[in-house]
Chains A and B, each alone.
Chain A
Amino acid sequence: MAASGLWLPLLLAAALAGRAAALWPWPQYIETSEAHYAIFPHDFQFRYHSSSAAQPGCSVLDEAFQRYRDLLFSSRAWYPPEPTRKLHAPVKNSLVVLVVTPGCNQLPSLESLENYTLTINDDHCFLLSETVWGALRGLETFSQLVWRSPEGMFLINKTEIEDFPRFSHRGLLLDTSRHYLPLTTIMDTLDAMAYNKFNVFHWHLVDDSSFPYDSYTFPELTRKGSYNPATHIYTAQDVKMVIEYARLRGIRVLAEFDTPGHTLSWGPGVPGLLTPCYSGSHPSGTFGPVNPILNSTYEFMSSFFLEVSSVFPDFYLHLGGDEVDFTCWKSNPDIQNFMKEKGFGSDFKQLESYYIQTLLNIVSAYDKGYVVWQEVFDNNVKVRPDTIIQVWREEMPVHYAKEMELITKAGFRALLSAPWYLNHITYGPDWSEIYMVEPLEFKGSPQQKALVIGGEACMWGEYVDSTNLAPRLWPRAGAVAERLWSNKLVTNLDSAFKRLTEFRCELLRRGVQAQPLNVGYCEQEFEQT
């Protein structure tokens, strides 16, 4: 046992021996020493422990073993050591994986356990986890622990890690409506998410600008509402592929179909769905939010969400509900009459609530939970107690910390996104601000804090498509990833800067087009194709 064999205080992260300092996100508990072991690519293998609940044939792990093998060894030139050179380090020929709970074919969920223990010492090279999802996280950590000597030897330090996420919902939002993102771009993003231990892909599929989700119940939606119905759509097959690709990386796919606002692209494919706006006493030819006063609207939503509920297997759906513009509703005489009839007066928030409640009832009937944007809460829509509210507004109507306080006080679970809008860019190293956000920094009881299930980095697509997505996301989203995974006390910016700088070079090596944090270089720079 090395002299440094203590559970190191987390704040000493930067002072750690060897290469463990490059870990991202930082594990909950780590003990490491200068002692190290050699790994020979040709001999090394990932193996299932004989008493593991997962055994060969477990697709999640079989494929992960292959993936991490490639990540570790394939893109690097590998020369066997010169036979004359004396080998100082003992050799590790395998990482043995033991999963306690069976289950390889299910989907990850909000409740999935992701904890793992990694033991690399004279006797063991061992990864223990409750579930396959934890094993995936552990494999990622293992891959970050392996480093190379100047002579090209693969080495791993004697290390003990006990790790688990601080928050269970660690998400990244991509917007495929403002700009269509090709499947390869989405899958590349899922890969990079796994490297950062993100576990939720929030897929903002449709919006005003386009409707790329190819519905089999309502094919006219994409035929008339996508940018190009031949090329700029996601077919059922595409969606399936994304969900499976994500599953194999322990990532949930949370689909968002935002209504009643942000729906202009729905209109052409579903006549009568949107509210006709009026200019004086005549329809102006333009359309507003979904028309909340027609039965046909709810019939459509019933069928549509029935499909969506089965296409997207995650328990949760995101139903949007943000930024409803009342101008058009106000202009429409039929809506005015409806308001009178319902006794809403001139409070259009009540009309909005009416719509959303009806919609929530529809979706509840399909045995789905739901996530909504904060306006639904702000506007006092009556929602089920297990609703998850996503906070996205920085200052209005209140500062986001206050909003978190109010939501949790009302007993709802909350997701934080407000300080993590990565589409907003400025000159210089903005990752540190992103990093220093503390999601639980609001007034509230421990019970309230426990209602914060995590957060999401959002990459809205007004100015983003596959040409600039990756460098704009990475490594900035990495700052969010560590905040959501690591211990609350991991806040040392110097340490984070060093590790993130090294991690971004590792991302480059893995083919992720991650931009630089500051001046400097990586051994292996990004090469344009």
Chain B
Amino acid sequence: MGPRGLGLLALLAALSPRSAAASGPALWPLPLSVRTTPRALHVSRENFSVSHDPASSAGPSCALLQEAFRRYHGYIFNLDKSQHGPAKRNSAVELKQLLVSVVLDSECDLYPNVTSDESYSLVVKAPVAFLKANRVWGALRGLETFSQLIYQDSYGTFTINECNIIDSPRFPHRGILIDTARHFLPIKSILKTLDAMAFNKFNVLHWHIVDDQSFPYQSVTFPELSNKGSYSLSHVYTPSDVHTVIEYARLRGIRVIPEFDSPGHTQSWGKGQKNLLTPCYNGHKQSETFGPINPILNSTYSFLSQLFKEVSAVFPDQFIHLGGDEVEFKCWESNPEIRDFMKWKGFGGDYKKLESFYVQKVLDIASTVNKGAIVWQEVFDDHVKLQPGTIVQVWKFQSYSEEQAQVTAAGFPVILSAPWYLDWISYGQDWKGYYKVDPLDFSGSPEQKKLVMGGEACLWGEYVDATNLTPRLWPRASAIGERLWSHSNVKDLEDAYNRLTVHRCRMVSRGIAAEPLYTGYCNH
């Protein structure tokens, strides 16, 4: 490439601070390697196209890429609301085309999974730029990067600098958790979130679909669950809704992992499924209240087998999240039948053993339906016997790196969420705190570090619904997006601020109501 390969950082530094979020390329998350030259190419809406390289294993029959090409053409030129007619001719050479080449079997019609190859390389030079990836998943990431390289110069001309980019993610699991039980989120909000996730190279939607408050998932096998357990009959995800979300996500290289949290957090399940929850006692009498799922009945496990059989067919991902957090023992303790069962099993007074008994059965059910399991950290902490490969999600803030060390020392893969609870809000620029976290910052061997699959930004729904989801999530989650994608040495806060400010304006221009980082403005 250009002999005077001017670094991207130098280019950004040249932007005046007052021009805030005006123009210039601002890549987010920052790719592994970027070599940029000052040679600017002009790109025009009329002449520019994205096409398949003839050598690509994916051609026009690959709907996933066809749609992505159209989408990104829109994103690149939608900034152009104010101007019409041909842009001013300047001396710059024109970039006419981006050719996309998928090298190996494209995987165009598959679902992304945890081992999906998202690497790509991008060579931008006149008159044709090349995007190369092993699979469509890398091509999607590369298209996003390419779209971020194009900016409007001071005359409003769409411009891209010649450059050479090689990129791949640092962690394979980069997730966003949404909670549709505390508040129902309309499908439109979920799809918007998937759009924004793609702009930030997130690849997992962790769908915490049900909880104590409501059961919006419409089960074909057990329709009463949502009939009785949803907030209302219009606050329900039908099979077709779920399918829409999964396919929309797939087209953006995003996995959808459903969470059916049990045995706690299940109050809403009880309304539609008799005898599933434990009746709590007040002395010798039933108190009319219910606790966690009743772990001592065979009917419980036959219900769960059928439910998870359905869920495993509806959600194509290899993994299911089984929850297992915050099990409250009081109700179990109050129930005489459960106490008898404890005695009979020789559990003594240790209700963690009962919890383990339950969770192990659920894990067995999951593996019967050929799904890998993700669980919250309590399941590990309470010494449930886990099958190798079970992923443990660390969420408790206190000494989370110690927890990571222990889980990985025991040989289990880890997903980190503890420092990234975005529902916790405070005044000011909290994104910096999320950004500074390094998921590998715990004591452990290189083998242990390899067990860190990535992390998830969690936006729990107690105080969040469609009215405030988007500005609360973006660009705060973007900080985590870069932490999980970019190299560990990408941690300069000032540089991140400058790029993220532009990136948030880009999200706004693409229809995502991402809130401001600080005082300033966007040009739209």
Q: Interface residues, chain A, CB within 8 Å of chain B? A: 178-180, 209-210, 227-228, 231-232, 423-429, 461-465, 467-468, 470-472, 508, 513-521, 523, 525-528
Other A-B pairs beyond A424-B427, A464-B516, A468-B513, 16, CB < 8 Å: A179-B519, A179-B521, A429-B463, A463-B427, A463-B516, A467-B513, A467-B515, A468-B516, A517-B463, A518-B463, A519-B183, A523-B234, A525-B184, A525-B465, A527-B188, A528-B470
Given A425-B427, A428-B463, A525-B465: A520 and B513 within 8 A (CB)?
no
Q: Can you name the residue of chain B whose Cβ is closest to the Cβ of A465?
A: B516
Give CA–CA (A452, B48) in the complex, Å: 65
Q: Can you name the residue of chain B whose Cβ is closest to the Cβ of A513?
A: B467
Given A425-B427, A526-B466, A527-B188: A520 and B183 within 8 A (CB)?
yes
> Which of B276-284, B327-335, B340-348, B418-426 interfaces with chain A?
B418-426
Set A210, A462, A523, A528: member contacting B518, Cβ < 8 A: A462
Given A426-B425, A427-B425, A519-B462: A228 and B467 within 8 A (CB)?
no
Shortest 3 CB-CB distances between A and B: which pairs?
Answer: A468-B471, A471-B468, A521-B231
Judge whether B20 is part of the interface by a CB distance below 8 angstroms. Answer: yes
- With both chains docked as a complex, state the minimum distance between the C-beta of B340 and any C-beta of chain A, in angstroms: 35
Q: Please provide the chain B residues from 463 to 499 with a CB less than 8 Å away from any CB of chain A in the complex.
A: 463-468, 470-472
- Chain B interface residue count, CB cutoff 8 Å, equals 43
Q: Can you name the residue of chain A whose Cβ is closest to the Cβ of B463?
A: A516
Say whether B518 contacts A521, CB under 8 Å.
Answer: no
Say whether B426 contacts A525, CB under 8 Å.
Answer: no
26 A-B residue pairings within 8 Å (CB atoms) = A209-B520, A227-B521, A228-B521, A228-B523, A423-B427, A426-B425, A427-B425, A462-B518, A465-B515, A465-B516, A471-B467, A471-B468, A472-B468, A513-B468, A515-B463, A515-B468, A516-B463, A518-B462, A520-B231, A521-B232, A523-B232, A523-B234, A525-B186, A526-B466, A528-B186, A528-B466
Give CA–CA (A20, B463) in the complex, Å: 26
- With both chains docked as a complex, state the minimum distance between the C-beta of B499 and any C-beta of chain A, in angstroms: 19
Interface mask (B186-222 → A, CB under 8 Å = 1, otherwise 0): 1011001000000000000000000001100000000
Say whether B467 contacts A463, CB under 8 Å.
Answer: no
Q: Please provide the chain B residues from 406 to 430 with a CB less than 8 Å away from any CB of chain A in the complex.
A: 423-429
Chain B residues closer than 8 Å to A472, beta-carbon distance: 468
Judge whether B235 is part of the interface by a CB distance below 8 angstroms. Answer: yes
Q: Can you name the residue of chain B whose Cβ is closest to the Cβ of A471?
A: B468
Give CA–CA (A515, B513) in the complex, Å: 15
Give CA–CA (A471, B468) in the complex, Å: 6
- With both chains docked as a complex, state the minimum distance between the C-beta of B298 and any C-beta of chain A, in angstroms: 33
Give CA–CA (A227, B231) in the complex, Å: 45
Given A178-B519, A426-B425: A514 and B466 within 8 A (CB)?
no
Set A468, A521, A528: member contacting B235, Cβ < 8 A: A521
Judge whether B255 is part of the interface by a CB distance below 8 angstroms. Answer: no
Chain B residues closer than 8 Å to A178, beta-carbon distance: 519
Give CA–CA (A232, B20) in the complex, Å: 13
Q: Can you name the residue of chain A whose Cβ is closest to the Cβ of B515?
A: A468
Given A521-B183, A523-B232, A525-B186: A508 and B467 within 8 A (CB)?
yes
Chain B residues closer than 8 Å to A461, beta-carbon distance: 519
Chain B residues closer than 8 Å to A426, beta-carbon distance: 425-427
Judge whether B42 is part of the interface by a CB distance below 8 angstroms. Answer: no
Set B20, B184, B513, B515: member contacting A521, Cβ < 8 A: B184
The winner among B186, B429, B462, B521 for most chain A CB atoms within 10 A is B521
Say whether B521 contacts A427, CB under 8 Å.
Answer: no
Chain B residues closer than 8 Å to A227, beta-carbon distance: 20, 520-521
Chain A residues closer than 8 Å to B189, beta-carbon distance: 528
Q: Can you name the residue of chain A whose Cβ is closest to the Cβ of B234?
A: A523
Judge whether B514 is part of the interface by a CB distance below 8 angstroms. Answer: yes
Give CA–CA (A97, B508) in the complex, Å: 45
Say whether B182 contacts A519, CB under 8 Å.
Answer: yes
Chain A residues closer than 8 Å to B295, beta-carbon distance: none
Judge whether B323 is part of the interface by a CB distance below 8 angstroms. Answer: no
Say whether B425 contacts A425, CB under 8 Å.
Answer: yes
Give CA–CA (A464, B520) in the complex, Å: 10
Say whether B519 contacts A209, CB under 8 Å.
Answer: yes
Judge whether B461 is part of the interface by a CB distance below 8 angstroms. Answer: yes
Chain A residues closer than 8 Å to B465, beta-carbon distance: 515-516, 525-526
The winner among B189, B425, B520 for most chain A CB atoms within 10 A is B520
Say whether B425 contacts A516, CB under 8 Å.
Answer: no
Q: Can you name the residue of chain B whose Cβ is closest to the Cβ of A514?
A: B467
Chain B residues closer than 8 Å to A232, beta-carbon distance: 521
Chain A residues closer than 8 Å to B235, beta-carbon distance: 521, 525
Give CA–CA (A413, B396) in the complex, Å: 50
Give CA–CA (A138, B470) in the complex, Å: 36
Give CA–CA (A483, B201) in the complex, Å: 46
Say whether A467 contacts B519, CB under 8 Å.
Answer: no
Give CA–CA (A464, B472) in the complex, Å: 12
Chain B residues closer than 8 Å to A465, beta-carbon distance: 515-516, 521
Chain A residues closer than 8 Å to B521, beta-carbon distance: 179-180, 210, 227-228, 232, 465
Chain A residues closer than 8 Å to B424, beta-carbon distance: 427
Give CA–CA (A5, B214) in the complex, Å: 40
Say whether A525 contacts B519, CB under 8 Å.
Answer: no
Say whether B183 contacts A516, CB under 8 Å.
Answer: yes
Chain B residues closer than 8 Å to A526, beta-carbon distance: 186, 465-467
Say whether B428 contacts A463, CB under 8 Å.
Answer: yes
Say whether A467 contacts B508, CB under 8 Å.
Answer: yes
Say whether A463 contacts B192, CB under 8 Å.
Answer: no
Say whether A515 contacts B467, CB under 8 Å.
Answer: yes
Q: Can you name the residue of chain B whose Cβ is closest to the Cβ of A426?
A: B426
Give CA–CA (A468, B523) in the complex, Å: 17
The winner among A427, A464, A470 for most chain B CB atoms within 10 A is A427
Say whether B466 contacts A527, CB under 8 Å.
Answer: yes
Chain A residues closer than 8 Å to B514, beta-carbon distance: 467
Give CA–CA (A34, B465) in the complex, Å: 34
Chain B residues closer than 8 Å to A464, beta-carbon distance: 515-516
Chain B residues closer than 8 Å to A513, beta-carbon distance: 467-468
Chain B residues closer than 8 Å to A470, beta-carbon distance: 467
Give CA–CA (A83, B36) in the complex, Å: 75
Set A209, A424, A463, A508: member contacting B515, Cβ < 8 A: A463
Give CA–CA (A508, B192) in the complex, Å: 19
Give CA–CA (A205, B508) in the complex, Å: 23
- With both chains docked as a complex, state the minimum distance between the C-beta of A107 and any C-beta of chain B, in angstroms: 31
Give CA–CA (A7, B523) in the complex, Å: 56
Chain B residues closer than 8 Å to A516, beta-carbon distance: 183, 463-465, 467-468
Say whether A231 contacts B523, CB under 8 Å.
Answer: yes
Give CA–CA (A515, B508) in the complex, Å: 20
Chain B residues closer than 8 Å to A520, beta-carbon distance: 183, 213, 231
Give CA–CA (A468, B466) in the complex, Å: 12
Chain B residues closer than 8 Å to A525, beta-carbon distance: 184, 186, 235, 465-466
Give CA–CA (A426, B425) in the complex, Å: 5
Chain A residues closer than 8 Å to B523, beta-carbon distance: 228, 231
Say whether A179 contacts B427, CB under 8 Å.
Answer: no
- With both chains docked as a complex, state the minimum distance between the C-beta of B460 and any C-beta of chain A, in angstroms: 10
Set A428, A462, A523: member contacting B519, Cβ < 8 A: A462
Say whether B516 contacts A179, CB under 8 Å.
Answer: yes
Chain A residues closer than 8 Å to B517, beta-carbon distance: 463
- With both chains docked as a complex, state the minimum distance between the C-beta of A250 and any C-beta of chain B, in angstroms: 26
Give CA–CA (A62, B206) in the complex, Å: 51
Chain A residues closer than 8 Å to B231, beta-carbon distance: 520-521
Q: Can you name the residue of chain B whose Cβ is closest to the Cβ of A208?
A: B519
Set B182, B186, B188, B471: member contacting A467, Cβ < 8 A: B471
Say whether B192 contacts A528, CB under 8 Å.
Answer: yes
